[in-house]
Structure 1
Amino acid sequence: VDVNIGANPSAEGGEDEGVDDTAVKVVDIVDVFRLQEQPPFDKKQFLGFVKKYIKLLTPKLEAEKQEHFKKNIEGATKYLLGKLKDLQFFVGESMHDDGSLVFAYYKDGAADPTFLYFSFALKEIKC
């Protein structure tokens, strides 16, 4: 009895249905939230963004969060400056210049990026 049940469709003369040649690998966070990659920032541009961001965000925070934000933003800025050359910058689909940036970098040997956010700019949504 000759039964044609091979696991390799190309050996059977059929079309290869396993892989789509037009498939593109995307980073899920970038794709789902439709983030737009921005050109890299130099130190001066980045510090200018942070100053503007602090000025815009601080009044929107509750008083107790303002103090916490002011205490922690300096450390966060120094941390990001240390990684500046390795960071990718993303903004939301609307590309508003008053919005927050999303930062991504690849840890040593990692295939997928690690994303960093200014937590004070995020809104919690219950799903």
Structure 2
Amino acid sequence: MIIYRCIISNDEMFSDIYKIKVSDNGIFFEVEGRTTTRTEDFDERLIGANASAEEVAEGTESSSVSGIDIVLNHNLHETGFDKKGFTSYIKDYMKAIKARLEETDPDRVKPFMAGAQEEVKKVLANFKNYQFFTGESMNPDGMVGLLDYREDGITPFMLFFKDGLVEEKC
């Protein structure tokens, strides 16, 4: 399995268990997820509890959590942006990625900057469609994944900057 981590925060963003496509200009990983509901039952036996034969036991609590599998599996946290705040964040984030690329892959800087600007314009044009998610550490400088839904209104997908990730084989 391959885990994709943010190069700034080292947070786990997603893994290769999902359907992953690279955008036409090579800027984004588009990761398709699905909406899921998980039930988490509390098992009293795990804490050594033993129901008494004399008392009527109260029912144990169970809870269910609904959400997008990518978000739930990788402990992503929703964050809020207005257009101005997102624009400010993305400028700083692109500068950080550009600086990393200048050190590690200088030939990639120009295509990244041109392609990223093109993709950011598309995001800003459809800004109200997106939800934003940070990694587990909620590092404000780290990557923010963008969640949207396909035309069917049911199938969720997330966008992650390809150049802002490192692959880790498990």
What TM-score, normalized by structure 2, do the two folds share? 0.58
Identity of aligned residues (%): 34
User: 2:66 aligns to what SS in structure 1?
Assistant: coil
Question: Gapped runs of 5+ residues in structure 2?
Answer: 1-61
The residue that corresponds to 2:134 in the other structure is: 91
How many Å apart are 1:111 and its aligned residue?
Answer: 2.1
Structure whose alpha-carbon radius of gyration is higher: 1
Q: Deviations over 1:61-93 (max 9, x none)?
A: 120121221121110111111121010000001
Which of 99, 108, 111 is the matching residue for 1:59?
A: 99
User: 1:23 aligns to what SS in structure 2?
Assistant: strand
1:69 aligns to 2:106 (yes or no):
no
The residue that corresponds to 2:86 in the other structure is: 46
Equivalent pairs, count: 107
Which of 27, 30, 33 is the matching residue for 2:74?
A: 33
Please give the alpha-carbon distance, in whole angstroms, between the structure 2 residues aligned to 1:28 and 1:65.
32
How many Å apart are 1:50 and its aligned residue?
Answer: 1.3
What TM-score, normalized by structure 1, do the two folds share? 0.76
Q: Deviations over 1:40-75 (max 9, x none)?
A: x22211111111111211111120121221121110
Please give the alpha-carbon distance, in whole angstroms, between the structure 2 residues aligned to 1:109 and 1:73.
26
| C-alpha RMSD over aligned residues | 1.8
Please give the alpha-carbon distance, in whole angstroms, between the structure 1 residues aligned to 2:94 and 2:65.
37
Question: Gapped runs of 5+ residues in structure 1?
Answer: 1-20
Which of 101, 111, 114 is the matching residue for 2:157?
A: 114
How many Å apart are 1:109 and its aligned residue?
Answer: 2.9
Please give the alpha-carbon distance, in whole angstroms, between the structure 2 residues aligned to 1:42 and 1:80.
12
The residue that corresponds to 1:3 in the other structure is: none
Please give the alpha-carbon distance, in whole angstroms, between the structure 2 residues aligned to 1:68 and 1:108.
29
Q: Which amino acid aligns with 1:46?
A: F
Structure with the bigger percentage of helix? 1
